[in-house]
Structure 1
Amino acid sequence: MAASSRGFSTPFCLKPRRFDSSPLHHHHRGFEFRKSRNRRRFLDFRCCSDSVVPIRRTTGSGKSAEKKAEEWRFDPKKSPHRVRIQATPALPFGSTQSQFVSKQEKFYPRCTPRNSGPQSRDTPPKRDTGIANEKDWGIDLLNENGNESGTNEDGSTWYRESGEDLGENGYRCRWTRMGGQSHDGSSEWKEMWWEKSDWTGYKELGVEKSGRNAEGDSWWETWQEVLHQDEWSNLARIERSAQKQAKSGTENAGWFEKWWEKYDAKGWTEKGAHKYGRLNEQSWWEKWGEHYDGRGSVLKWTDKWAETELGTKWGDKWEEKFFAGIGSRQGETWHLSPSGDRWSRTWGEEHFGNGKVHKYGKSTTGESWDIVVDEETYYEADPHYGWADVVGDSSQLLSINPRERPPGVYPSNFGSTPPPPDDVPPDM
């Protein structure tokens, strides 16, 4: 679920295209490791100028919002540069089964023994892909505990282990981990899958993967899905989270993402993401969040900014709050030059719920507006992906069988909430 699901295009002028890693263009917004004829390829996001004036928006979530990306316009008389805003499409989250097909399996599938060990997983995760559903991870825990290892025909080695850990309060964790490395040790990969449960009704499904290739590119990602009872409302809640990162072995480049989604049985929903990236002289950040209280109140916000080592900085942020057709939107677009000159434009909208909208704003170049227009207010009071959807996509999580609880024994920490994941990306 990418950030575009909030119904807004990126506030920066980004026009993605492919280019080889050498030579590097001066302005890049993100990158992705890929193998193509022994050359890495990056995603090049060309950053344009700022100075954009938002006009009427169509907000909302879901597929309809993706089709109705936020509209923008520019005023060549008031803006220092011509600006073109283009929404960046979300990158699909492919199945891990298709991503991790080795060369041996691809070209010689009939020569690979059926009972051989796991093949090499030498593909890093993709950027801006959100939280995958459990079916895309293909979590398959072995029913029997055991250890095995072996050597493939190309000299690469592998291992696979599985087991079960037991603890207090009915805690049980079933896990399987595997890994391997090339014959010369220049590349390696590790994976671990698990499911957890206890007598409080807590259930967890998770995956962690990491790897390194011969070029020195490294990556790490984890995904978790949790079912528990909220300690305040006593409602069933499902929480999903994902963290991903990748680093280049030859460039000063890397990226990190953290995504989370929380749902309860009465429609309360919270979603958000934190992202960071760097490509040589330029760094960028992004944070966004959505909150639905299940009774019609909605809060959405986004904050994005970037900078170069030369001192140029630019960014965009906005926030909206609505309930029963009444609410407000406000935001700011800004730019800071290396010499310290700062340009900014602030804007706001007040929606009264009666077809009237008060629009106002100003910029450091002297422009301003303050008008009331007749305009129908539209917003989504419910997330396009909610409780019923996440329950339908969490069949493996819900099917986890906890240990049998002895008669007369009760959970000691009933309704406890798991701690939130750490914000700090490891080794970034």
Structure 2
Amino acid sequence: MTLNSGALRPPLGLRLQGVEFRPPELLRWKLLSRRGDFRFRCCRSCSDKVVPNRRIVTVAGRKCLDKSEEWQSDLRKNNHKVRVQAAPARRFASSQPELASRQEKYFPRCTPRNSGPPSRDTPPKRDTGIANARDWGINLLTEQVNESGINEDGSTWYRESGEDLGENGYRCRWTKMGGQSSDGSSKWKEAWWEKSDWTGYKELGVEKSGRNSEGESWVETWREVLHQDEWSNIARIERSAQKQAKSGTENAGWYENWWEKYDAKGWTEKGAHKYGRLNEQSWWEKWGEHYDGRGSVLKWTDKWAETELGTKWGDKWEEKFFGGVGSRQGETWHVNPAGERWSRTWGEEHYGNGKVHKYGKSTTDEGWDIVVNEETYYKAEPHYGWAEVVGDSSQLLSIQPQDKPPGVYPFLDFGSSTLPPQGGSPPTTPPQDGSPPTTPPRTQ
């Protein structure tokens, strides 16, 4: 059995909040019936642009769309077909639709100011990496708010926002919100923030936690940071995400720690540590990538799993390349409940001239040692690097720090780290209940 088998990486059955999908309303189809079967048919002489007929009205001092006038559709006169182009695939999965921003979820059009945000009792998804800021939909309130209320079903909610100022031009704008059901079985909390100071440090962050009526609990934190490297003075962007969740009905849970680091000269580092459990099975995974920006590449992966009966198995490999010259090596292993171990090790030496030395052996007397003609393939640059992360960090880059008085120089602390150290050991089990987000702590 290999580590990639379905038994090793079972998905945790956490319900996702339903998302209603409606097809684009500008599609005007003609429905025809032929021998009892329905099908869609249109002709080719349609226009690529359809202009909706809508009005803007004012309700309680707010401008909003008048939904009394919807898209004009006349099936009796319409013999046209509009061209439908598939939207590009998104790099990271998200439980929220792109058609509506996160802020619109909390503040719908024409909604009274004192109405509470809807319940956010959806656990995060596994193996979705680090989402972009646009996927989080961070939209901080421009004024200070401190309000709470009770909904018709008895559930309660609160919403707060504010701004903290400190030394060295430190500024943190934040928004917190949360709520719980009338019986307390479902709770959720969220905090969003942005930080800046005179050194050029900028940060966006989100922390979410909660527990739903089925006993599922979770905590999720995401950060995106722009700062200047203390020694090289090169701009650097670092992103991280930590996610963990626990089932309420099974002995099941998972933990993920993701990080990405980029600088303006092409240096890139990426990695993840993962842990999961489903009843009697547990599994772990670690991987990393490092690009020095000058053609040197290091990649590695280590995966292993075990059962309560004592069966263990895993797989790991590593590759190092520079200028077409490099090596690959790895091991696959298995241990049965009696403690008997089987393993197979392998390696490759790439000389850069079209020849590759391959060798390996196993505990069952397998062995090989050959030289073959083979083209070496590796990528000296990440598929997602500095240019891409800058393009996806427009909200981070647009953070406006406080004005610095003339003649004032920022204090630089060369002994501090802008991000917490990565690669720590995950907890043995995810938390029983989500920890409440607090006002974001100052990390300067």
Query: TM-score by structure 2 length?
Result: 0.74
SS of the equivalent of 1:389 reads: helix
- The answer on 1:396 being equivalent to 2:388 is no
Contact 2:327 2:347 in 1 (8 A): yes
1:28 Cα offset (Å): 4.9
SS of the equivalent of 1:14 reads: coil
Contact 2:270 2:290 in 1 (8 A): yes
Deviations 1:303-356 (A, max 9, x none): 000001111000000000000000000000000001011000000000000000
Equivalent in the alignment of 2:160: 161
Equivalent in the alignment of 1:45: none
Amino acid at match of 2:251: N
Show the 5 A alignment for 1:52-201: 92-96=92-96, 116-201=115-200
Distance of 1:281 and 1:28 partners within structure 2: 11
Distance of 1:409 and 1:373 partners within structure 2: 65
Greater shift in the superposed pair: 124-133 or 109-118: 109-118
Distance of 2:346 and 2:196 partners within structure 1: 49
Equivalent in the alignment of 2:10: 30
Deviations 1:89-127 (A, max 9, x none): x9951254679999xx9xxx9997686221001110000
Show the 5 A alignment for 1:266-285: 266-285=265-284
Equivalent in the alignment of 1:13: 4
1:362 Cα offset (Å): 0.3
Contact 2:16 2:123 in 1 (8 A): no
Contact 1:203 1:228 in 2 (8 A): yes
**Residues 336 and 100 (structure 1), Cα distance of their counterparts in 2 relative to 1, 3 Å cut:** farther
Note the residue ranges of structure 2 that are not aligned, 5 or more in a row. 19-89, 431-444
Contact 1:91 1:128 in 2 (8 A): no
1:217 Cα offset (Å): 0.8
SS of the equivalent of 2:200 reads: coil
Contact 1:347 1:360 in 2 (8 A): yes
Distance of 2:15 and 2:325 partners within structure 1: 50
Note the residue ranges of structure 1 that are not aligned, 5 or more in a row. 1-9, 16-26, 39-89
Equivalent in the alignment of 1:420: 420
Greater shift in the superposed pair: 406-415 or 129-138: 406-415
Contact 1:149 1:159 in 2 (8 A): yes
Deviations 1:142-192 (A, max 9, x none): 010120112223221111000111111111110000000011111010000
Deviations 1:262-315 (A, max 9, x none): 000000000000000011111100000000000000000000000011110000
Equivalent in the alignment of 2:30: none
**Residues 407 and 271 (structure 1), Cα distance of their counterparts in 2 relative to 1, 3 Å cut:** same
Contact 2:198 2:410 in 1 (8 A): yes
**Residues 182 and 112 (structure 1), Cα distance of their counterparts in 2 relative to 1, 3 Å cut:** farther
Amino acid at match of 1:35: R
Equivalent in the alignment of 2:225: 226
Distance of 1:266 and 1:118 partners within structure 2: 43
**Residues 343 and 372 (structure 1), Cα distance of their counterparts in 2 relative to 1, 3 Å cut:** same
1:14 Cα offset (Å): 2.2
Query: TM-score by structure 1 length?
Result: 0.77
Show the 5 A alignment for 1:306-321: 306-321=305-320
Contact 1:30 1:255 in 2 (8 A): no
**Residues 182 and 424 (structure 1), Cα distance of their counterparts in 2 relative to 1, 3 Å cut:** farther
Contact 1:32 1:126 in 2 (8 A): no
Contact 2:327 2:348 in 1 (8 A): yes
Distance of 2:92 and 2:128 partners within structure 1: 6
Distance of 1:198 and 1:126 partners within structure 2: 33
Distance of 1:167 and 1:37 partners within structure 2: 39
Contact 1:101 1:121 in 2 (8 A): no
Distance of 1:232 and 1:283 partners within structure 2: 42
1:412 Cα offset (Å): 1.1
SS of the equivalent of 2:387 reads: helix
Larger radius of gyration: 2
SS of the equivalent of 1:243 reads: strand
Deviations 1:200-236 (A, max 9, x none): 1100000000010112110010000000011121100
Amino acid at match of 2:400: N
Distance of 1:297 and 1:363 partners within structure 2: 31
Amino acid at match of 2:420: P
Contact 1:99 1:123 in 2 (8 A): no
Deviations 1:7-42 (A, max 9, x none): xxx962324xxxxxxxxxxx452333433899xxxx
Contact 1:194 1:206 in 2 (8 A): yes
Greater shift in the superposed pair: 151-160 or 380-389: 151-160
Runs of 4+ in 1 over 4 A off after TM superposition: 97-102, 109-115, 424-427
Q: CA RMSD in A?
A: 2.7
SS of the equivalent of 2:134 reads: helix
Equivalent in the alignment of 1:407: 406
SS of the equivalent of 1:136 reads: helix
SS of the equivalent of 1:366 reads: coil
Greater shift in the superposed pair: 340-349 or 150-159: 150-159
Distance of 1:140 and 1:37 partners within structure 2: 21
Distance of 1:133 and 1:282 partners within structure 2: 32
SS of the equivalent of 1:35 reads: coil
Equivalent in the alignment of 2:345: 346
Contact 1:101 1:119 in 2 (8 A): no
